[in-house]
Amino acid sequence: MILEKNEKFEISESMIPPKMTVTIEDARIVAETFGDLRMRYHAAIKEISTKLEVLDNEFSLRHDYNPIHHMECRLKSIKSIVDKIERKGWPMEIESVYKIMDFAGVRVICNYVDDVYTVEESLLRQDDIKLLKRKDYISNPKESGYRSLHLVVEIPIFLSDKTYNMPVEVQIRTIAMDTWASLEHELKYKRKEEMPENVAQELRKCAKAMAEVDTTMERIHKMF
């Protein structure tokens, strides 16, 4: 969920996680801070998205080709934030929320693997973008078969009172990588128990096959 203009973020008793021993009054204070933080992250997402759109448009004008197929944006929900804090073993307080680097995310879907690194290079070349973290799961796929390039970048946003430097996670992957990741996520989170090894093995085979498709399609693309 991304807050639209003038949309207010409010909390109710049903939104307070069961493990949090706080009153509704305390929760409202947290919600006010949380809502302000979401607003800042929303602004950061807009900044990153605009930069990527401008880069894609420039590439189209100069090379008659768009490296970005489409983009998706997201902000973590309260439940996702609480779940992550619990997994990390951090104290359940607002300070822990500030530690979460993937609060805001932009997913960039490209046509080909080369486009992934073209988009990365173009984005990081900008003076107001600072790279905080990089994980290349394309060159080094996860054991599950997952492939994607993950960047955590810091970008300034200018509000009426001050300038904030906000971290945003940018995931860049191909259409094939995104298709596999979406289906794997659906299978993984649909089941309550751990995924059987035979299913995990089949998924790894699919990931490898789709990576081969990526390589073949890029080779064909370069023939023209």
Catalytic site positions: 169
Which residues fall within 8 angstroms of residue 9, CB to CB, at 6 or more apart? 3, 31, 34, 35, 38
| Burial class for 207, CB neighbours closer than 10 Å (0-12, 13-18, 19+) | buried
Q: Which long-range contacts (CB under 8 A, 24 or more apart) does 18-23 make?
A: 19/82, 19/86, 19/92, 20/82, 20/92
Parallel, antiparallel, or unpaired: how do β-strands 104-110 and 163-174 relate? parallel
DSSP SS3 for 148? coil
